[in-house]
Amino acid sequence: MKMKKLLALMLAAVMALSLAACGDSGSKESAAPSQSGGSPSSEAPSQGGGEGGEVLIGCLQDITGPTSALGMSVQAGAQAAVDEINANGGIDGKTVVMKTYDTKGDVTEAVNAYITAVTVDKVKLIVGPPVANIANAIKETSESYDVPVMGFALDPACQMREDGSVYKNMFCFQPSATTQGQIMAAFALKNGMKTFGVIYNQENAYSVSLLAPFTDELAKSGITIDNSLVVAYGAADTDYKTLLQPLVSANVDGIYCPNYTQQLVAIATAAKELGYQGKLICGLDAAPSFNTTYGGDCSNVYYINNINTEDATTAEMAAAVEDKVSAVNKYFLGYDVVMIAKQCLEEAGLEDNAALVSAIENVKDFKGLTGTLTIDPATHMPDGMGMFMYTYDNQTPVMLEEFAG
């Protein structure tokens, strides 16, 4: 019964967002509230502690812009959790209200939205952002406030300075780029790949952060990638066939592609047109809906994911929302983070921000849709959280192996 109730609440949240749509750019999720505008129910409290019996939390997401599919999926999952919490009495008897702030995928917009959330609206915490470029943009500003940012930016630099100290309010709730890059390299080696090329976006912190962990892991097995086969590109580079030609001509076993979905689709298309017969090794953004966006046979694509759709419960939950959101794994992350926030707010109380940050730092063995999570206080990132490697059977995702964190 609990499972059915959760599924019903998740679907209700997605449908509510759909009904609130004011038109979008073609992604599955509905358009969410405009920058700093919040949802219709989020006009109220001037204090995050909850005037009028409410607890206000912020949702800082890329609702429009090139990574809107990620942000809107996170938002939908977060809203599903908010609805479930409220259906069960709220937090300390108070209704949770989530107000969404659209970064538009722009760092200046993100900083302005963050400042509005913490100084004008006085949210208790921020859910998001979903991408590293945005998290890097707000991390220094966040030091001036006492509002935790519960995000998903896997670049360790979003949470930690070069000297190893942490940004006090910045947290990530999925395995780091270090962990993910190492897993993808270990998987490639285990499956017989010996020669590699790389294509990555040198202007994107997510893409850059995944490069060294992959190549360093290969180096442990005595494999190096010739500099001529490491291709960096930027926003102005759109001729992917020319970019990929050296890698295809070298007939490498695998091309490592730590890129966002739009670029991955273009890369996969170009590789196919060039007649590439090897494997594409990709990050989280090759998970569905990459397959349907690409449209062709994805059987040579291998990708990492933070959910296990071989698990019956996870599969049922994923099936309930996969036609409503673009990225189910991001939906699950949004849901989990709000549930973690609830636990921490209940532990810390609603008026002690320092205690709230401490509670988040000390999350231990939280069992969520994306696995069991423990935060390492020294890094503000998960400690020992496993992930899964997948491929496709044409268009159908197939889980191949679980890797410990």
Host H or E run for residue 329: helix 328-348
Checking if the pLDDT of 45 tops 50, the result is no
* In a shared domain, residues 225 and 298: yes
Number of domains forming the structure of the chain: 2
| φ/ψ (deg, to 5) at 391 | -135, -170
* In a shared domain, residues 143 and 228: no
* In a shared domain, residues 136 and 200: no
Q: CB-based contacts of 182: which residues, under 8 Å, 6+ apart? A: 213, 214, 216, 217
Give the pLDDT of residue 8: 53
Mean pLDDT of the chain: 89
* In a shared domain, residues 35 and 160: yes
Which whole number is the average pLDDT over 277-294? 94
- How far apart CA 36 and CA 120 sit, in angstroms, is 10
CATH number of the domain to which 207 belongs: 3.40.50.2300
* In a shared domain, residues 115 and 171: yes
* In a shared domain, residues 171 and 224: no
Give the pLDDT of residue 9: 55
Quick one: which of 364, 341, 367, 391 has its CA closest to 149? 341
Tell me whether residue 383 is in a domain.
Answer: no
Tell me whether residue 378 is in a domain.
Answer: no
Tell me whether residue 327 is in a domain.
Answer: yes
pLDDT in tens, 175-196: 999 999 999 999 999 999 999 9
- How far apart CA 103 and CA 68 sit, in angstroms, is 9
* In a shared domain, residues 227 and 270: yes
Give the pLDDT of residue 2: 47
* In a shared domain, residues 109 and 213: no
**What is the domain extent for residue 146?**
2-175+311-373
Which whole number is the average pLDDT over 8-20? 49
* In a shared domain, residues 252 and 148: no
- Confidence at 221, pLDDT banded by 50, 70, 90: very high
pLDDT in tens, 141-181: 999 999 999 999 999 999 999 999 999 999 999 999 999 99
Give the pLDDT of residue 22: 38
Q: CB-based contacts of 258: which residues, under 8 Å, 6+ apart? A: 181, 200, 206, 207, 210, 211, 214, 282, 283
Tell me whether residue 381 is in a domain.
Answer: no
- Confidence at 35, pLDDT banded by 50, 70, 90: very low
Whether cis (ω within 30° of 0) applies to the bond prior to 289 is yes
Tell me whether residue 328 is in a domain.
Answer: yes
Checking if the pLDDT of 32 tops 70, the result is no
